[in-house]
Amino acid sequence: MKDTSAGGGRLNRTLGLPTVALYGLGNILGAGIYVLIGKVAGFAGASTTLAFLMAMVTATVTALSYMELAGRYPVSASVSVYLHRAFGKRWLSTVIGLTMVGGGVASAAALAQGFAGYLNSFISVPTMAGSLGLLVVLGAIAIKGIGESAIMAALLTGLEVLGLLLVIWFGRKAFTHLDVGSLVAIDPAVGLGGVVAGAFLAFYAFIGFEDMVNVAEEARNPSRTMPLAILFALLASTVLYLLVVVVSTTLVPPAELAASDAPLTLVIERSGVSHGVFLSVIGMIAAINGVIVQVIMGSRTLYGLAKEGWIHSRFGLVHRSFQTPVTATLVIVAAMIVGTVVLPLVALAQLTSLLVLAIFTLVNASLIVIKRRHRTHGGFMSVPVAVPYLGVLLCLGTITVQVVIW
């Protein structure tokens, strides 16, 4: 491997709006539906759709805050920079940046296990071997370059969307006699506690838009590109999620969904398709996509923290040929491997949700402070001041209820 350079190394601006939007959409879709829909059904029962709706509201409000902040400060290690602009506390920015990295590591470890679950639906491979093999290969791809990584993510996203559209199409009979009231009712078998626990886990399905802002320094016209990409990714994922959840919980009892390692494969087989192996393949692709995005997010966050002088400068080393933060990428992949070995899928997803909700609380709070100090700015959009206040309340409320349930 060639020498790296620290101080003068710059990331390569190669990403346009479509690529960034697909990059974020792929991360959102990969985590939520293909890997966790069955686990959410295990908590929320017949109220799984309601659980996803509750998670969607919390995520959407915070996404609006991110859209304004991404336009104001289009930089890597974005969350840490937002907090530093608001509170001026280096230690807080560093801790939250590393917390975000921890959430990404836990998320990727969960997705790697989800990949192995779908892989086992047609090839018998030890779960640990499948998970670790995936992380090593994708780490190498991320080191090669952001262009290759993001384009790969965009291509894989197309296949993810195709898989979900096939589930909706083949399961369309679920909409024939749909009782909308039952979708938002609380299942007495699980109670409110079960629905909230399901919503907490379902929240994991919507995260991903916050990772998009960490490639701002590799995007063209980032002040405009980043907010619009977040908007498009969240809208598309929300529509697909709700349709797929309705189909899945109508065709397959929640208990059976919860017991399956390849839940959407089971759903499409129940819709009348003789073989759902192709859904297992797409489920693997979704997990791959989610992992590659988390590798990029974690490494760029470490790079950004090093660039600000908040952690060791070695994490800011950029490879002269690949123009990627090699040291940061290697550390992130190693941490993901440890996470995969140590914790099970649901625990990893719950840990990710908890960490991300804590980060979202502070991001919304930072926007409140920033809007007070700087009413005018050169960003692409501004949201009403009530948005970040509502975001703080929703995120703290979700955390509090979940802690009480635990």
Q: What confidence category does residue 7 fall into, taking pLDDT thresholds of 50, 70 and 90? A: very low
Q: What is the pLDDT of residue 14?
A: 66
Q: What confidence category does residue 77 fall into, taking pLDDT thresholds of 50, 70 and 90? A: low
Q: What is the pLDDT of residue 146?
A: 57
Examine the pLDDT at 214 and tell me if it is beyond 60.
yes
Q: What confidence category does residue 149 fall into, taking pLDDT thresholds of 50, 70 and 90? A: low
Q: How many CB atoms lie within 10 A of CB 38?
A: 26
Examine the pLDDT at 8 and tell me if it is beyond 60.
no
Q: What is the pLDDT of residue 213?
A: 73
Beta carbons within 8 Å of 305's beta carbon, 6+ residues apart:
77, 80, 94, 97, 98, 311, 315
Mean local confidence (pLDDT), 307-328: 80
pLDDT in tens, 26-73: 777 765 678 788 889 999 999 999 999 999 999 999 999 988 888 888
- Single pTM value for the model: 0.79
pLDDT in tens, 343-355: 888 888 888 888 8
pLDDT in tens, 156-204: 778 888 889 999 999 999 898 788 888 889 999 999 889 988 998 888 8
Helix extents (H) in 252-344: 254-259, 263-270, 277-307, 326-342
> Mean pLDDT: which of 4-13, 228-237, 267-276 is highest?
228-237
Percent of the chain past pLDDT 70, that is, above it, reads 89
| More confident site: 77 or 83 | 83
Q: What is the pLDDT of residue 41?
A: 93
pLDDT in tens, 86-138: 998 888 878 888 888 898 898 889 889 888 888 887 788 888 889 999 999 88
- Residue 88: strand, helix, or coil: coil
Q: What is the pLDDT of residue 70?
A: 83
Q: Answer whether 317's CB lies under 8 Å from 4's CB.
A: yes
Examine the pLDDT at 1 and tell me if it is beyond 60.
no
**E strand map for 64-211:** none
Q: What is the pLDDT of residue 367?
A: 94
- Residue 387: strand, helix, or coil: helix
Examine the pLDDT at 85 and tell me if it is beyond 90.
no
Mean local confidence (pLDDT), 280-289: 82
Distance from C-alpha of 84 to C-alpha of 92, rounded to nearest angstrom = 8
Q: What is the pLDDT of residue 379?
A: 63
Beta carbons within 8 Å of 220's beta carbon, 6+ residues apart:
13, 14, 15, 16
Q: What is the pLDDT of residue 336?
A: 95
Distance from C-alpha of 248 to C-alpha of 115, rounded to nearest angstrom = 19
Q: Name beta bridge partners: 318.
A: 5
Q: What is the pLDDT of residue 10?
A: 59
Mean local confidence (pLDDT), 265-280: 82
Q: What mean pLDDT value characterizes the chain?
A: 83
Q: What is the pLDDT of residue 2?
A: 37
Distance from C-alpha of 340 to C-alpha of 348, rounded to nearest angstrom = 9
Q: What is the pLDDT of residue 165?
A: 92
Q: What is the pLDDT of residue 348?
A: 86
Mean local confidence (pLDDT), 229-240: 90
Examine the pLDDT at 219 and tell me if it is beyond 70.
yes
Domains identified in the chain and CATH numbers: 14-405 (1.20.1740.10)
Q: Which is nearest to 100 in space by CA: 203, 214, 187, 7?
A: 214
**E strand map for 90-166:** none
Mean local confidence (pLDDT), 319-341: 86
Q: What is the pLDDT of residue 150?
A: 61
Distance from C-alpha of 177 to C-alpha of 56, rounded to nearest angstrom = 25
Distance from C-alpha of 266 to C-alpha of 274, rounded to nearest angstrom = 11
